[in-house]
Structure 1
């Protein structure tokens, strides 16, 4: 890279850093594409953020008050200043081998002692790139933690994530859920949903070894495991490998799924609360729901497709039995 191209790269990075510092910034997809095109861009972007932060520090002027009528962007964590604290793309604390990319929103990485924690709000998605070439994509409402000293050890508190793992026989990649269940990769692409002890694991490539309370089994590509709670016996079933992690491309696939789980999936992907009436507790659904067009458009399709009536409750929806529907 010659001097003129170096200067052009620095200027592009500086412009991105300035734009990201604007509370109204929303072009996270554009920033993602720009950064992923060349590793040098992330370095230049970090340098630009450092320069702008240093410049901010020279002026101890409080930020202008924000009018009450201006709502905070959905991706901005509450109470996080956006003028003096520049939003970063990389995570310096993960120099041992983990970098963070934002997908559809800002990212959050919290250092809790020896673990690095990542969290997404409802409707947000994030990707974590590991130094060994492995990749973790977080769906909305997900929390997991990575040990920087051993990035191939992940603890998943709750939510949904797709793991695309570079297999290493000497250093197996292990996902530990909140109840202590261990999922060990065998050269794998797999999707995990965990919530309150309930668990779903779907394997698209390779295999996963499940080790839970009183049970151990291997899941190969095209197989899935479901468990109602931490004490329940896991059940194995078939799954189409092409549908694993389909939420990333705007499709939610369901196979004899309880409506409570369907509602939780919609909440994660749409960023709004979706709940069900107790009379629908035994109802199940099989089919595909497209999540394009925004929450209102999606829910307009869900009602007739799932055969439920939808009631607006605050900023979300409640599913109730439709006329003629039987719980």
Structure 2
């Protein structure tokens, strides 16, 4: 089943009645209230919320700093947020004792957040006026299951086709179009809008485009960007590259940006037609993609085996046959146990 979830369903998300700034402030307050109680899944959701838009982190950190100031006041002196603000204005910072910190439960945190929110409002955050990013059009997360390919129409008229086991965060306002590919693969058909560049990030890689068609593949240790039409700018740390139609680049956190190489534009979305085509690709990348099409699990044993290079094309319709073909092609052995497959060096290959 296709998953399309509102990441922010736990707070007020009536986008028709709540301004973008107000909505983000509500969400930031929500996360501050529960930040010491998050389970693993909630921590992932919180990190996703932070990275989807710089304004999220800016407002959250602003409230967090205000909360820190409030928490340093001797809470026994007042239960009135307005009095706390006055006290903050008229006193130096006071370190809270250990027992006060231990008593920092949900009720106290609600009180402190309320006080910090009032602090921001009354002090104007020390003269800093936050920028309003304009009304939010869409904030969503799209997710596909194993072996599922799904196309989604975005609020700006663009479209994205997600490959199997993929996850994409989307934030679209009247001023910005920001997307985060968290896993898997996506093919983007972008509506041109010079006033709102379309930015897709994945890992530490940023891809900026005005109007084009391109593919982003999340590999175990790198991101592959291939352009079918138009041009995109790829950024990794302080390195930049521009790609035209029919060009591909690999962005690796350790190795940086690869050389731009040529690719047949008609092959860029091969996976949408059930074909996987590789040119000198490491086995680890191929297996990672195959696992997104397979309900079981494929495991490669040995780092040297993971780095074996492959140039071939495979059908996604019969993954077990692909595994056997890879084993024969690379002189590997395969072992099957239920839906789990192991690819290992052949026992006949002796190592010193």
How high is the TM-score relative to the length of structure 1? Answer: 0.61
For residue 170 of structure 1, give the secondary structure of its aligned residue in structure 2.
Answer: coil
RMSD: 2.5
What's the secondary structure of 1:133's corresponding residue? coil
- Which whole-Å deviations, capped at 9, do the CAs of 1:174-233 have from their partners, x for residues lacking one? 102232x21012421111112455111111111110122011110111111112336634
Matching of residue 169 in structure 1 with residue 194 in structure 2? yes
Paired positions, count: 220
Give the structure, 1 or 2, with the largest relative contact order (CA under 8 Å, sep 6 or more).
2
Q: Deviations along 1:108-160, whole A, 9 cap, x unmatched? A: 42423x83112223222221112443210111121110114367321111221
Residue ranges of structure 1 left out of the alignment (5+ in a row): 1-104
1:138 equivalent to 2:34? Answer: no
CA distance in 2, matches of 1:227, 1:166: 25
| 1:313–1:192 CA distance, 2 compared to 1 (3 A) | farther
Alignment partner of 2:314 out of 283, 289, 306: 289
Alignment of 1:99-118 (within 5 A): 105-112=1-8, 115-118=139-142
Separation in 2 of the partners of 1:199 and 1:258?
13
Cα separation, partners in 2 of 1:211 and 1:266, compared to 1, 3 Å: same
Secondary structure of the corresponding residue to residue 3 of structure 2:
coil
Query: Per the alignment, in what secondary structure is the counterpart of residue 235 of structure 1?
Result: coil
CA contact (8 A) 1:178 1:197 kept: no
Name the residue aligned to 2:222: 198
Task: Find the counterpart in structure 2 of residue 304 from structure 1.
Answer: 328
Measure the CA separation in 2 of the matches of 1:228 and 1:324. 34
- Counterpart of 2:258 in structure 1 is 234
Aligned partners of 1:122, 1:280: CA distance in 2, in Å?
25
Q: Could you report, residue by residue, the CA deviation over 1:46-85 in whole angstroms, capped at 9, with x for unpaired residues?
A: xxxxxxxxxxxxxxxxxxxxxxxxxxxxxxxxxxxxxxxx
Task: Encode CA deviations 1:234-276: one digit per residue, 9 max, x unaligned.
Answer: 3322111111020110110101100000101111123432221
**Does 1:158 find its partner at 2:183?**
yes
Q: Deviations over 1:5-40 (max 9, x none)?
A: xxxxxxxxxxxxxxxxxxxxxxxxxxxxxxxxxxxx
Counterpart Cα distance in 1 of 2:306 and 2:219? 17
Aligned pair in 2 of structure 1 residues 225, 143: CA closer, same or farther (>3 Å)? same
C-alpha spacing 1:168/1:255, structure 2 compared with 1 (3 Å): same
Q: Which has the higher helix share?
A: 2
What is the alpha-carbon distance in structure 2 between the residues aligned to residue 204 and residue 326 of structure 1?
44
Is the aligned partner of 1:216 residue 2:216? no
In the alignment, the residues of structure 2 paired with residue 195 and residue 115 of structure 1 have an alpha-carbon distance, to the nearest angstrom, of 25
Q: Distance in 2 between matches of 1:252 and 1:154?
A: 25
The question of 1:128 aligning with 2:24 is answered no
| Contact persistence 1:227–1:235 (CA under 8 A) | no
CA positional deviation for 1:310: 1.9
Q: In 2, are the aligned partners of 1:158 and 1:196 still within 8 Å (CA)? A: no
Q: Deviations over 1:261-318 (max 9, x none)?
A: 01011111234322212140331101111122x3334434443345432212452212
Q: Secondary structure at the match of 1:141?
A: coil
CA contact (8 A) 2:284 2:307 kept: no
Structure 2: how far apart are the matches of 1:138 and 1:107?
Answer: 11
